[in-house]
Amino acid sequence: MNRLNKGFRNELWSPYAAGVLLGVVGVLAVWLADSLLGASGAFESLAGMIGKALAPQAFNIMYFNFIMPTGITWAVVLLLGVMVGGALGALSSRTWKLRLNTDDKQWKAIIGPQLWKRWLIAFFGAIILEYGAGIAGGCTSGLAISGGMLLAPAAFLFIAAMFASGILTTLLVYRRNW
Amino acid sequence: MNYVIALFLGACFGFSLNKAGLTRYNKIVNVFRFTDLAVLKFMLTAMVVSMAGLYTLRGLGLIQFPTVPSTYIVGNMIGGLIFGIGMALTGY
């Protein structure tokens, strides 16, 4: 029991163990709520809700009317839970801490330790990321994992494309250090 | 009730991401450099477990599949290509 508790509190689990947990969660989501796990759609629902309140004309488009539901959807609540769960995970290993900059050594060595670099790249990278997720119909969780477990062809096309451009981008960023 | 389930499942989801280390820049980027395959191990384990669970439950007649993410080949691929750039830059 003691060993189990110690293993539970480890900062990192074996990815296989964490993967089994996510797999069970994926099954439960379909079973209990008839929904798929996803993250990127929640941001779009929130953005759509704010947009419809501030500029209803501009947001009265096909995407927000028919494809992406706006408002506080199931996915938005799920996203809230993800934040809670992530914090709980960090608290369980006593690594929870508010940070403005990343303390990742690799980031600091390759990109640089400056705060503005982290925020600038995070901001524009996230725009690129969310835009791509919008076109593809989901992100790593919503399309690749949730779609993959239902054997949707879209998921495997997405994973292939994601890795192709991800590898190319890291090649360009890391150059000789790749 | 549905929202309680969402909150609970979301918490487990976030917890597993944290424990797998997917909240870190180096884990996400190193999978594209083939120096740390934790992301792939995590993703594929999750997929295999839920695949097995879902198809068993459907075989037993306990669940029906929700709407499967739609396939539109060019869109999925272009979206994936753009997504990969953002993912490799930020490490999210």
Answer whether B50 sits within 8 Å of A135, measured CB to CB: no
pTM: 0.91
For residue A29, list chain B residues with Cβ-Cβ distance below 8 A.
9
CA atoms within 13 A on the CB side of A51: 17
Cα A83 to Cα A40: distance, rounded to the nearest angstrom: 14
Cβ count near A175 (within 10 Å): 9
Quickly list H helices, A12-114.
15-33, 40-54, 62, 74-92, 105-110
**Domain coordinates of chain A in residue numbers?**
1-98, 100-178
Q: Which of B8, B45, B71, B76 to mutate to test the interface with A (most CBs of A within 10 A)?
A: B76
ipTM of the complex, rounded to two decimals: 0.93
Q: Nearest-CA neighbor of B10 among A17, A96, A86?
A: A86
Answer whether A170 sits within 8 Å of B54, measured CB to CB: no
Q: Which residues contact A114 (CB under 8 A, 6 or more apart)?
A: none
Query: How many structural domains comprise chain B?
Result: 1
User: In this structure, is the dihedral angle defined by the CA atoms of residues B10, A118, A176 and B80, taken in order, positive or negative?
Assistant: positive
Answer whether A77 sits within 8 Å of B33, measured CB to CB: no
Q: Decide if A163 contacts B84 (C-beta within 8 A).
A: yes
Answer whether B80 sits within 8 Å of A33, measured CB to CB: no
Which of A124, A127, A158 is facing B76, going by the closest CB pair?
A158
Give the nearest chain B residue to A40 (CA atoms): B83
pLDDT tens for chain B, 92 residues long, are 789 999 999 999 999 999 999 989 999 999 999 999 999 999 999 999 999 999 999 999 999 888 888 889 999 999 999 999 999 999 88
Answer whether A146 sits within 8 Å of B69, measured CB to CB: yes
DSSP 8-state secondary structure symbol assigned to residue A111: T
User: In this structure, is the dihedral angle defined by the CA atoms of residues A19, A177, A126 and A150, taken in order, positive or negative?
Assistant: negative
Give tens-digit pLDDT for A59-81: 888 888 778 888 888 899 999 99
Range of the domain at B61: 2-90
